[in-house]
């Protein structure tokens, strides 16, 4: 788009025919003098895409009603105008591919898993850039919706062997890359991204320290806390997704040990929280494979006993919960809520109906029978209290009272 398209108009000395409320912009342009220096403003319609939960919220569409094409951010805000003009058909296919994949991710459940995966395999990925965009969509969805973190790794395992030619591939020297390799690279980049987040946090801390206004400092501190929560939630979602990929046999034991040791070496609260989540996810599988975890848990016990570092009570409880979970043979006290398949849903529904039928078949005794049963039970429990008293016993009781 031209840089002066949204420039403010000089209304000090407007032309006689420069504005008419009933004239469209094309008509105004035709009525203006031909030698006007004012650039022509295209008839564009700006539209904010509406996203469901889990979609990228920053995508803006600028739709040209004459062509119906997105002039800006056609594919998630990453293509320039020159790219759109050079390959409009390819960008349109890419946008359609991303839309179809996003629809699959929005509808994906254990019940319709096989059907939607079969539809995804039929899509045309064709090059590494499109496949990387699909991986980005899957990754963002898995991190934002941890309750479905079991479904998305299964999807990645089914699509792991899809391969496409790279940008350097030629007919003489073909070069291919598959879904699994791009996904592992994505997870590694996100896992090592914490250093960048820490540098951003340091900038925000310096801004708070340099602010003298109390109200402004309070607002900046609120924004910093919000930023910290967002970064922590994303980091925890990332390590859980990595753990679920390991359980789907897409990552190796050595990669998991490197992740655990790196999180343990940092010893900051965010890394310790990620460590607890990763151990909760894959601890049982690692000990099943006879992976030595005792050195890691020794450091965690030292943290709980405050021998090495002092952490907040919340993180201390998280570490203690993982230690208790290992002591209980990795059997959690509370089962985690995950999406269920259709078979499990139907089984739970039938059990609920059976319980309801059993409750309906219970016939309550009449009120007279209930009262007699209660009185009989009282006689057995307190025979002296329910036995009839004679007049002589009553007189003795009165004399004792007074």
Structure confidence by residue, pLDDT tens digits, 34-43: 444 444 444 4
359 within domain boundaries: no
* Residue 228: pLDDT over 80: yes
Residue 73 has pLDDT above 50, yes or no: no
Is 90 exceeded by the pLDDT of residue 118? yes
* Average pLDDT for 359-375: 51
Contacts of residue 157, defined as CB under 8 A and 6 or more positions apart, other chains included, come to 248, 249, 250
240 in a structural domain: yes
Q: How many CB atoms lie within 10 A of CB 20?
A: 10
Kindly state whether residues 204 and 230 are assigned to the same domain: yes
Please, what's the b/e burial string for 315-340 (b: 16 or more CB within 10 A of its CB; e: otherwise)?
bbebbeebbebbeeebeeeeeeeebe
**Is pLDDT at 56 greater than 90 in this prediction?**
no
Q: What is the mean pLDDT of residues 378-401?
A: 52
Q: Are residues 153 and 118 in the same domain?
A: yes
Of 247-256, 306-315, 353-362, the poorest mean pLDDT is in 353-362
**Residue 395 pLDDT > 90:** no
Contact 98, 79 (CB under 8 A): no
Q: Which domain holds residue 75?
A: 44-86
Q: Flag whether 154 is in a domain.
A: yes
* H helix or E strand, kind and range, residue 285: helix 269-288
Dihedral angle computed from the Cα positions of residues 226, 231, 237 and 241, in that order, rounded to the nearest 10 degrees? 160
Q: Are 157 and 34 in a shared domain?
A: no
- Give buried/exposed letters for 263-300 (b at 16+ CB in 10 A, else e): bbeeeebbbbbbbbbbbbbbbbbbeeeebebeebbebb
Q: Is the pLDDT of residue 83 over 60?
A: no
Residue 76 has pLDDT above 60, yes or no: no
- The pLDDT of residue 21 is 42
Residues 78 and 211 in one domain: no
Q: How many independent structural domains does the chain possess?
A: 3
Highest mean pLDDT among 207-211, 227-231, 284-288, 332-336: 284-288
- Together in a domain, 104 and 242: yes
Does 185 map to a domain?
yes
As given in the structure block, the two tokens for residue 314 are 């919340």
| Phi/psi-derived region of residue 230, left when phi > 0, alpha when psi is between -120 and 50, beta in every other case | alpha
Range 6-30 average pLDDT: 44
Task: Say what the pLDDT of residue 173 is.
Answer: 85
Average pLDDT over residues 127-135: 93
Q: Are 176 and 164 in contact (CB under 8 A)?
A: yes
Identify the domain boundary among 57, 86, 115. 86
Confidence of residue 18 (pLDDT cuts 50, 70, 90): very low
Q: Which of 17-21, 114-118, 225-229 has the lowest mean pLDDT?
A: 17-21
Smallest CA-to-CA distance from 271 within 227, 340, 319, 317 is with 319
Helix axes 88-107, 128-144, angle to 10 degrees: 30
Residue 248 token pair: 């789907």
Residue 190 has pLDDT above 60, yes or no: yes
In a domain, 146, yes or no: yes
Same domain, 222 and 99: yes
Q: Are residues 54 and 170 in the same domain?
A: no
Mean pLDDT, the chain, integer: 74
326 lies in a domain?
no
**Residues 201, 228 within the same domain:** yes
Least confident of 72-76, 99-103, 194-198: 72-76
CATH number of the CATH domain containing 103: 1.25.40.180
Verify that 127 and 225 share a domain, yes or no. Answer: yes
Residue 319 lies in a domain: no
- pLDDT confidence of residue 393: 55
Q: What is the pLDDT of residue 383?
A: 52
Asked if 187 contacts 245 with a C-beta cutoff of 8 angstroms, the reply is yes
CB atoms within 10 A of CB 351: 10
pTM of structure: 0.62
Lowest mean pLDDT among 170-184, 248-262, 381-395: 381-395
Locus of tokens 């789907």: 248
């Amino acid at each position: 788009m031209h840089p002066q398209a949204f420039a403010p108009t000089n209304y000090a000395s407007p032309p006689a025919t420069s504005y008419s409320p009933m004239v469209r912009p094309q008509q105004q342009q035709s009525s203006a003098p031909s030698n006007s220096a004012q650039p022509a403003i295209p008839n564009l319609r700006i539209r904010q895409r509406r996203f469901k939960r889990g979609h990228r919220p920053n995508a803006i569409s600028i739709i040209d009603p004459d062509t119906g094409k997105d002039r800006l951010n056609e594919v998630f805000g990453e293509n320039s105008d020159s790219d759109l003009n050079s390959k409009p058909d390819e960008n349109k296919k890419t946008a359609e591919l991303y839309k179809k994949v996003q629809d699959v991710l929005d509808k994906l459940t254990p019940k319709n898993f096989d059907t939607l995966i079969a539809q995804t395999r039929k899509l045309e990925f064709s090059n590494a850039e499109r496949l990387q965009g699909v991986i980005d969509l899957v990754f963002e969805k898995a991190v934002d919706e941890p309750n479905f973190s079991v479904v998305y790794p299964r999807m990645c395992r089914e699509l792991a062997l899809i391969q496409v030619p790279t940008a350097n591939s030629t007919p003489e020297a073909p070069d291919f890359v598959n879904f699994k390799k791009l996904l592992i690279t994505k997870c590694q980049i996100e896992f090592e991204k914490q250093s960048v987040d820490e540098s951003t946090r340091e900038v925000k801390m310096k801004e708070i320290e340099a602010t003298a206004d109390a109200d402004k400092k309070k607002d900046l501190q609120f924004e910093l806390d919000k930023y910290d929560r967002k970064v922590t939630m994303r980091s925890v979602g990332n390590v859980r997704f990595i753990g679920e990929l390991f359980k789907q046999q897409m990552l190796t034991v050595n990669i998991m040990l490197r992740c655990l040791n790196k999180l343990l070496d940092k010893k900051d609260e965010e890394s310790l929280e990620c460590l607890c989540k990763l151990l909760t996810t894959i601890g049982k599988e690692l000990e099943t494979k006879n992976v030595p975890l005792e050195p890691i848990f020794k450091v965690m016990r030292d943290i709980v006993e405050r021998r090495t570092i002092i952490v907040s009570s919340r993180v201390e409880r998280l570490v203690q919960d993982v230690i208790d979970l290992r002591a209980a043979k990795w059997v959690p006290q509370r089962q985690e809520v995950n999406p269920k398949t259709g078979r499990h849903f139907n089984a739970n529904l039938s059990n609920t109906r059976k319980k309801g039928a059993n409750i309906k078949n219970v016939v309550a005794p009449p009120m007279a029978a209930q009262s007699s049963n209660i009185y009989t039970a009282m006689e057995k429990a307190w025979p002296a209290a329910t036995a009839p008293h004679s007049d002589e016993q009553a007189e003795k009781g009165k004399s004792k009272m007074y």
